[in-house]
Amino acid sequence: MARRSASLIEDLIRVVGRDAVYDSPGDLLVYEYDGSVDGAVDTASPAAVVLPRTTEQVAAVVRLASTHNLPVVARGAGTGLSGGAVAQRGGIIIALTRMDRILEIDYADRTALVEPGVINLELSEATLPGGAFFAPDPSSQKACTIGGNVAENSGGPHCLKYGVTTNHVLGLEVVLPSGEVVWTGGRAEGGAGYDLTAALVGSEGMLGIVTKALVRLTPAPEAILVMLAAFGDIDAASHAVTAIIRAGIVPAALEMMDNLTIQAVEPAYHAGYPLDAGAVLLIEMDGLSEDVTETGAEIELICRQHGARSIRAATELVERELLWKGRKMALAAMGRLSPNYYLHDTVVPRSKLPATLRHVGEVARDHNLRIANVFHAGDGNLHPLMLFDRRRAGDVERVLEASHALLHYCVEIGGALSGEHGIGTEKRDYLTWVYSADDLAAMAGVKNSFDPAGCFNPEKLFPRGYMCGEVRALRAQAMAQKHGIYAL
């Protein structure tokens, strides 16, 4: 564990000022964890937390960390679910929350230049009066920051139609592990050389710290229609989902919630979700008024063909927001069902959705757990929500076993380990399920190119022990032997 020297705090204060350095145990406690589940991800204490206000300060802290031989962990709002903002090896947490200015909104080019601490929803709220919005809308958007969205390549319900964060980042100002400040990408297309912006988005804070983001804004649609379709069971609803996708319809969002979820959200928000429904689909269409009406009719037909019992539609803002409330605030309502939950994130091909959801049910029964489903059905991005009580003996173990089984199933049928939450610490040891040693070596090559000293967010992404000195030396040796005939 990297310990701090007496001069570290003094040095940090000199760079960012006293009010931007936290070093007392009480203050540091809050930064020991993020949104990840304690037990699935271990908490850890940083040596210090700094809250810079400028790019120069971030760069100076990075250089200082290097001088003190300490790792650096960037942090946004700390809503991440895979442990990305937890300082597993101590060191300095750089919290970007005070860099929260929207620097520029350009409606002609539909771009916005923002600091990393800008809250996702607040960006869209600022641009909507001008007829544009920032499309990636993770469920945590009231709290999460753009910097965090970049680090995790965040998605959200609307990425079905609009894509994920990487489709909306035009350029980044980053502080590299060397302390150098670099702009990747830009306002004009056709940048020369390797797409460093692409490498940085979704890099989980391991390659650079974002100090400015130039993002694409999306024109606000002319019309929006939200539909709530209720089905007798999950199976019928999931078949409706695959049918909608197969019909060549691309809704703006296509979400599913099962009965267990409805039991939590309906009493909480009274959005009108039928309490006796096996599952509901929340479907949003947007575009030209005529298109929205026509597509809505097509979707309604498909839903009815797959057994929808009732279908409600809303076009007015207040009604639409109420229907969405049940989905967006689902996690907040889970406390009604259980004191603890573990929100999973996995993706499967859409044609495998019905089978996967059946399997989730089996895992729940086999492990004697309640698992709620509230997720982005349209792109096969599941979020099984395992309910448990930490105080009850054996609950945590059962949840971890069930998690392992569930993830394994999803990977086996051609899915991915993570759709939006990232790998972090949470799933690092599963990486070998999907990537070979050679595949990991290519990723290590990218890491080494940006961060040869390995000081940005260590102990994330790569399997335990993969990046540590001895292992690297062994690998280097193996590589040299393999290519011995032309060893330098």
Partner 1 sequence: MRSEAGIAIASPAGADHPLTIDGVGGFRVEHPSAGPEVAEILADSAARGLAVAPVGGGTTLGLGNLPERLDCVVSTARLNGVLAYEPADLTLSVGAGAYFSDVQSLLSEHGQELPLDVAIPEKATIGGLIATGLAGPRRLGSGTLRDLLIGIAVAHPSGTVTKAGGMVVKNVTGFDLPRLYHGSMGTLGIIVSANFKILPAARFESSVLATFPTLDGALEAAMKVRASRLQPLALEVTGEGANGPWLVAVRLAGREQSVNLLAAEARTFLGGDAETRSGVKSQAWWKDYTRKQAVDHGATDVLLRCTSRPSATATMTHMAMTTIAQHGELIRCYVSPGLGAVLIRVDLGISGGVEVLASLRDDLLCRADRVTVLAAPSPWKNGLDVWGPPPPGFDVMQSLKEDFDPHRVLNPGRFAGFL
Which residues between 108 and 137 bind partner 1 (CB under 8 A)? 108-109, 111
* C-beta atoms surrounding 355 within 10 Å: 14
Among 40, 118, 280, 348, binds partner 1 (CB under 8 A): 348
- Polymer length in residues for the chain: 488
CA proximity to 76, closest of 24, 154, 11: 154
Rounded to 5°, the CA angle 419-402-464 comes to 65
Is residue 342 a contact partner of residue 385, using CB atoms and an 8 Å limit? yes
Nearest to 455 by CA among 180, 148, 78, 176: 176
- Residue 199 C-beta: closest distance to partner 1, Å: 5
Q: Nearest distance from residue 437's CB to partner 1, in Å?
A: 9
Residue 452 within binding range of partner 1, rule CB under 8 A: yes
Q: Does 332 bind partner 1 (CB under 8 A)?
A: no
Whole-number Cα distances in Å, 429 to 75, 210, 289, 297, 459: 22, 27, 48, 46, 11
Q: What dihedral angle (degrees, nearest 10) is formed by the CA atoms of 235, 236, 237, 241?
A: 100
- Pairwise CA distance, residues 172 & 215, whole Å: 9
In the set 354, 419, 454, 458, which binds partner 1 (CB under 8 A)? Answer: 419
Q: Nearest approach, Cβ of 469 to partner 1 (angstroms)? A: 18
* Comparison of 264 and 423: residue with beta carbon closer to partner 1: 423
As measured in angstroms, the least distance from the Cβ of 194 to partner 1 is 5
> Of 149-178, which residues contact partner 1 (CB under 8 A)?
152-153, 155, 159, 163-164, 166-167, 176, 178
Amino acid at 391: R
CB of 263 to partner 1, least distance (A): 27
Q: Is 190 in the site for partner 1 (CB under 8 A)?
A: yes
Write out the binding residues for partner 1, residues 374-413 only, by CB under 8 A. 376, 379-381
Give the residue, chosen from 124, 261, 373, 418, that forms a contact with partner 1 under the rule CB under 8 A. 418
Beta-sheet strands, E only, within 51-122: 72-75, 92-95, 102-106, 111-114
Could you tell me which stretch among 7-15, 182-190, 257-265, 331-339 binds partner 1 (CB under 8 A)? 182-190
Q: Which stretch binds partner 1 (CB under 8 A): 37-45, 192-200, 300-308, 469-477?
A: 192-200
Question: Where do we find the tokens 């809505």?
Answer: 296
Of 91-99, 187-195, 229-237, 316-324, the segment contacting partner 1 by CB under 8 A is 187-195
Cα(347)–Cα(334) distance, integer angstroms: 22
Residue 451: both structure tokens together: 């961060």
Least distance to partner 1, CB of residue 237, Å: 16
Q: Rounded to an integer, what distance in angstroms lies between the CA atom of residue 380 and that of residue 166? A: 19
Cβ distance 424 to 463 under 8 Å? Answer: no
CB proximity list for 170: less than 8 A, separation 6 or greater: 111, 185, 186, 187, 197, 214, 215, 216
- Edge-to-edge, what's the strand order for the sheet holding 310-314? 310-314, 223-231, 279-287, 253-258, 370-375, 384-388, 340-343
Shortest separation between residue 153's beta carbon and partner 1, angstroms: 5
Smallest separation, CB 204 to partner 1 (Å): 8
User: Which of 19, 26, 276, 438 touches partner 1 by CB under 8 A?
Assistant: 438
Point out which span in 13-21, 227-235, 335-343, 348-356 binds partner 1 (CB under 8 A): 348-356
- Residues numbered 17 to 76 that lie near partner 1 (CB under 8 A) are none
CA torsion through residues 201, 327, 86, 425, sign:
negative
**Which helix H or strand E contains 335, and what residues bound it?**
none
DSSP structural state of residue 240: H
Nearer to partner 1, 16 or 440 (CB): 440
What is the dihedral sign for C-alpha 82, 84, 86, 90? positive
Q: Which of 50, 347, 372, 402 binds partner 1 (CB under 8 A)?
A: 347
The answer to whether residue 474 forms part of the interface with partner 1 (CB under 8 A) is no
Number of residues that bind partner 1 (CB under 8 A): 89
Among 422, 454, 456, 466, contact with partner 1 (rule: CB under 8 A): 422
8 Å CB contact between 131 and 110 = no
| Single residue of 7, 54, 69, 351 touching partner 1 by CB under 8 A | 351
Other CB atoms within a 10 A radius of the CB of residue 476 amount to: 10
For the CB of residue 486, give the shortest distance to partner 1 in the complex, in Å: 4
Regarding 446 and contact with partner 1 (CB under 8 A), the answer is yes
CB 294 to partner 1: min, Å? 6
Q: Which amino acid is at 330?
A: A
> Is 343 among the residues that bind partner 1 (CB under 8 A)?
no
- Radius of gyration in angstroms for the set of CA atoms belonging to the chain, rounded to a whole number: 23
In the complex, least distance from residue 336 CB atom to partner 1, rounded to whole angstroms: 29
Of 29, 30, 128, 182, which lies in the binding site for partner 1, with binding defined by CB under 8 A? Answer: 182
Q: How far is CA 483 from CA 441, 486, 488, in A?
A: 15, 6, 10
Which residues inside 304-323 make contact with partner 1, applying CB under 8 A?
none
Query: Which of the ranges 44-52, 55-63, 189-197, 276-284 carries the binding residues for partner 1, by CB under 8 A?
Result: 189-197
Site for partner 1 in 244-303 (CB under 8 A): 245-246, 248-250, 287-288, 290-291, 294
Of positions 417, 455, 459, 467, contacts partner 1 by CB under 8 A: 417
